[in-house]
Structure 1
Amino acid sequence: MKKQISLLLAILSLCSGSFAQGQQQEAMRLSLQESITYALKNRASLQATRNEEKSAKGRVGEIRAMGLPQIDAMLEVGDNFVQQQTFLPAEFFNDPNDPNSPPPGTFVPITFTPTYTSNAVVSASQLVFDGSYLIGLKAAKTYTELSRRTTTQSEIEVAEQVSKAYYSVLVSGERMQLLNQNITRLDTLLFQTNVMFENGVAEKLDVDRLRVQLNNLKVEQQKTQRLLQLSENLLKYQMGLPQHQPVLLTDRLEEVDIDMSQVYPQNFDYGNRIEYSLLETQQSLAELDVRNIRSGYLPKLYLNARYGYNAASNDFKAITTTSNYLEYGYVGAQLQVPIFDGLRRHYQIQQSRVTLENTKLGFETLRQSIDLELKQASTELTNALDVLKAQEENLALAEDIARVSKIKFQEGVGTNLEVVTAETDLREAQTNYYAAIYDALIAKVNLEKATGTLLTK
């Protein structure tokens, strides 16, 4: 009976394991470019920025609508429940033969307002000329361009964040694989040393030293595994990818190409930087602002028209009959000529000119900032590559020393302390090597951003 129960539990365990395996989500295979493309489509902050761009386009339509005919229709029916009265001189009502007529010099209240009134009218107006409107159209289009370039700037920032997070996962993954290999190698060495101890060739101290090394290595493996998971979570966040979605990176560190032609570039085109394009657009807006204020001195011309019917009666039924409505219509032009505004526009122009001048001065500051950024990024990449080359040589030497130390110990011509020391130096060399790789990759991203080539469409 116990055997049957055990067999049943084993079957249920296998079934549940198969079900969980079927429910496990398939890993998304991602290259760096695919990760950036996904982020550009799905990052919530970018979607909000693009919504602002759509809003800017709507602003252009709003301003354009101001120059189109404005037509309104209105129907009003009212009850003058307290009728307004007007005073007239008593002489209008004085009758010498009537002793009750009001005396001269007084006023008599008279009601002219009927009890019920109604008015139906269609009015239309058309802007014929307004200098501010014409400048506003150009400014709205320029503002749309500014919004579009702001979106591009946000896209570049997202590409930078995704690239750095992607490289962090790559480096952590490679380091994790190397730690696994180290543990396997050290575990084999520990087993061999333990056999040697049992045969009286090695001491217990040799076994204990290697076990301490192995335990430390396993702790480092656990820490690296957690850091790898944290790096993957950061990458998913930067991409706008759900945290529960597993990912599998397809790029390899050895495949990453560093374009050395970008280091200390000659005849750099500042227009490659989105910040420069943004400043150019802001300058255009500042120039249009000056023109817009100046256009306020020009006259404005409108065409107006009204057509409708009205009715009035003390009987409500009378205003419901169309025969009692009186027709009226009006067509005219309105010319508004500014004469004196207390020098308000004069001071506004002064302020807008200062803003324009500051924008022009910003170009020189930006150029100097870009030059400095290029030199810093180039220097950082050059230094990082030099360090990487040195650490790569150190790693090769540390691996060779560890290999020789192990052989000497196994052959009885070396000590266990030499093996432990060589393993410690090897782990330090590996750590320094992968730190140098990460620094070089980050410097590469920074240089690409500085040269304006990080995100090209």
Structure 2
Amino acid sequence: MMPALLGLSVVGGIPEIAQAIDVFHTDAMVPRTPAAAFADIDAAYPCRLDPLGAPLRLAEAVNRALCENPKTREAWANVKVQAAAVGVAKSAYLPSLTGNLQDGRNDGVTDVKGYPRLSSANRSTAYSASVSASWLLYDFGGRKAALANAQALFAAARANQDALLQTVLSTTATDYYATQAAAGKLASAKETESIAHDSFIAASARVTRGVAALSDQLQAQTSYAQATFNRAKAEGDLQAALGTLAADMNLRPDQPIIMPDADGGEVPDQAFAESVATMIEEAQNTHPSIATARAKLDAAIASEQQARAEGLPNLSLIAKYGQNNQPASLGLGEPQFAATGRDWYVGLQVQIPLFDGFSRIYKVRGAHAQVEMQQDALDEARQQIGLDVWKSYQALQTNMRNVGNTATLKQIAQRSFEVAKDRYAAGVGNILELLDAQKALSEAKQQRIQALTDWRAARLRLAAKMGRLDAEDLRREQAPQQ
């Protein structure tokens, strides 16, 4: 007898239309964009990317990097994964319902040799349907530990996203200021090249009039050639920096970018008043990387509790109702009669783990070792954050002093060059004095640009190491120089 069954079975499945249902509101736990709260340039349309501004401002560069960088999008996707895991853990508190439906054609033939009266041939269409339910009532804290683990991992994913956003923001700001410095150095190199050319022309004129030695012309020409070399190198350095900044924003390296003048941004107006000890203590308590490590420790503790609970009994409420139309027969060779069958049951089920080959013992040991490992990771994160804040603070203090030093140096170098140029034009100065003043002015201008951009980058890096870098810090970059 060979039955032919055409059936449909749905076991624990959910129709596609139900996938849009968010009973536990996990979507509300996930930020709207990969940039989370940082993409606030346009709050109504976060992560809306218009054509590049000209010039490109730091806030726009950071917004693009946070929204489009593959690392930030990966962290955002991980938050979605962990939010869904929280929903899965919460679903364990609800009953499960399973439906089963079979509908098939039955073609049965029985041929009894020598006893034709006992032979039979039956053809029928049969179906069976059943619904079963199960509801875990008590499991010694297993579900609670699983939910705590999922929630802790979600908290770790969110904190990790915040830490990554701080890192990407700081990296983009550093690259932005490095590009701005490269653009400023190129402008300074072009100006130096022009000054060197003028000095060469002036020296050549004096040699032609016979009031200066040929060595003056040659030395001025050498200085001019060196300035041309430096200008060409500055052009290459700028293109490399522009490519790096474009990559941060997930753009092609050859994307045209116009940078603002390095002298047009914020400058330090006072010393940093907050003590470094206070900043280190604050960072070790609130930095997103610390929150990530702490959440992973909580998840490991919950995972150990879950492993212990899995070795204990659990109590469930179970129920089932079924119906079928299997035909009935009085015996072999007798005709079949149409019939309808029903069955149901409801009751309590206790499951008691008796022996699992000692695997539970080793799972608990492994879970406890994970707790120890995460505790060590938390301690290491605190130590690293403290060191990062200390280094960033010292770098900021150094750069803050250098901004003032370079301003004074630039003024002195400018006056020195003007005096040397006038003395040489009047015939009372020599070419070496002029070239030395020219070189000192060029270096002073570049040091001024480097000091300004280094200070701005150091300020943002310190804020990032403390875990409190926000959009307000980016808007300050656009403030005019005082």
TM-score relative to the length of structure 1 = 0.76
Q: How does 1:142-291 map to 2 (within 5 A)?
A: 142-243=152-253, 245-250=255-260, 252-253=262-263, 255-258=265-268, 260-262=272-274, 264-266=276-278, 268-269=281-282, 270-291=284-305
**1:89-128 CA distance string (max 9 Å, x none):** xxxxxxxxxxx99xxxxxxxx9999787734212221323
Change (3 A) 1:144 1:366: closer
Distance 1:325 1:40, change over 3 A: farther
Q: Does 1:69 align with 2:96?
A: yes
Determine the structure 2 residue equivalent to 1:292. Answer: 306
Counterpart selection for 2:391 from 373, 376, 389: 376
Using the TM superposition, name which of 406-415 and 132-141 deviates more: 132-141
SS of residue matched to 2:278: coil
Aligned letter for 2:59?
Q
* C-alpha distance after superposition, 1:36-76 (max 9, x if no partner): 12222222321222122212222233344443432222214
- Residue 37 of structure 1: aligned partner: 63
Asked if 1 retains the 8 angstrom alpha-carbon contact of 2:181 and 2:262, the reply is no
Shift in alpha-carbon separation, 1:113–1:135, aligned structure 2, 3 A: farther
Tell me the SS of whatever aligns to 2:319.
strand
Report the counterpart of residue 320 of structure 2 in structure 1.
305
Q: Give the direction of change, closer, same or farther, for the CA distance of 1:238–1:211 in structure 2 (3 Å limit).
A: same
Structure 1 residues 250 and 329: alpha-carbon distance in aligned structure 2, compared to 1, 3 A threshold: farther
Alignment match, 1:326: 340
Q: 1:159 to 1:56 in 2, by over 3 A?
A: same
Q: CA–CA distance in 2 between the matches of 1:313 and 1:63?
A: 46
**Is the contact between residue 80 and residue 114 of structure 1 (CA under 8 Å) also seen in structure 2?**
yes
Q: Does the 8 A contact of 1:307 with 1:330 survive in 2?
A: yes
Offset, 1:223: 1.5
**Which of 1 and 2 has greater Rg?**
1
Structure 1 residues 325 and 233: CA distance shift in structure 2, 3 A:
farther
Q: Percent identity?
A: 15
Aligned equivalents of 1:290, 1:298: Cα separation in 2 = 17
Would you say the 8 A contact 2:243–2:255 is kept in 1?
no
Letter in 1 for 2:317: Y
Alignment equivalent of 2:418, drawn from 398, 403, 414: 403
CA 1:32–1:424 in 2, change beyond 3 Å: closer, same or farther?
A: same
Distance 1:344 1:50, change over 3 A: same
Deviation at 1:331, TM superposition (A): 1.9
Q: Please, which runs of 5 or more residues in structure 1 have no aligned partner?
A: 1-24, 86-99, 102-109, 315-320
**Which runs of 5 or more residues in structure 2 are unaligned?**
1-50, 330-335, 473-482
Residue 88 (structure 1) aligns with: none
Q: CA RMSD in A?
A: 3.5
Query: d(CA) in 1 for partners of 2:471 and 2:191?
Result: 39
Secondary structure at the counterpart of residue 247 of structure 1 = coil
CA distance in 2, matches of 1:139, 1:31: 42
In the alignment, is the contact (CA less than 8 A) between 1:262 and 1:451 conserved in 2? no
Change (3 A) 1:205 1:34: same
Deviations 1:295-350 (A, max 9, x none): 22132313121312042599xxxxxx9x8242222222341332523554344333
- SS in structure 2 at match of 1:261: coil
| 1:256-301 deviation digits (Å, cap 9, x = unpaired) | 3457235614263223211111122112212211221232213231
Q: Which residue of 2 aligns with 1:21?
A: none
Residue in 2 that maps onto 1:20: none
Quickly say closer, same or farther: Cα 1:49–1:113, change in 2 above 3 A. farther
Distance 2:460 2:121 in 1: 81
Q: State whether structure 2 residue 82 is matched by structure 1 residue 56.
A: yes
Structure 2 CA distance for aligned equivalents of residues 111 and 260 of structure 1: 103
User: When the two structures are aligned, how many residues end up with a matched partner?
Assistant: 404
* One-letter amino acid of the counterpart of residue 210, structure 1: A
Residues 155-198 of structure 1 deviation map (CA, whole Å, 9 limit, x = unaligned)? 11110111101111111122222222222223233333333333
1:124 aligns with 2:138: no
The answer on whether the counterparts of 2:156 and 2:293 sit within 8 Å (CA) in structure 1 is no
State the distance in 2 between where 1:60 and 1:187 align.
70
2:109–2:120 contact (8 Å) kept in structure 1: no
Which residues in structure 2 correspond to 1:43-122 (within 5 Å)? 43-66=69-92, 67-77=94-104, 118-122=126-130
- Helix, strand or coil for the counterpart of 2:177? helix
Q: Residue 429 of structure 2 aligns to a residue in which SS?
A: coil
One-letter amino acid of the counterpart of residue 51, structure 1: A
Q: Deviations over 1:214-262 (max 9, x none)?
A: 2221221121122112212211211223445433344744633457235
* Mapping 1:428-439, distance limit 5 Å: 428-439=443-454
Secondary structure in 2 aligned to 1:248? coil
- 2:40 maps to none
- Asked if the contact 2:188–2:446 (Cα under 8 Å) also holds between the matched residues in 1, the reply is no
Q: Which amino acid letter does the alignment assign opposite residue 412 of structure 1?
A: G
For 1:129 and 1:389, the matched residues in 2 are separated by 71
Label 1:360 to 1:344 Cα distance change in 2 as closer, same or farther (>3 A). Answer: same
Alignment-mate amino acid for residue 276 of structure 1: I
Q: Distance in 2 between matches of 1:199 and 1:176?
A: 35
The CA deviation at 1:150 is: 1.7
Distance 1:360 1:26 in 2: 45
Is residue 171–residue 253 contact of structure 1 (8 Å, CA) maintained in 2?
Answer: no
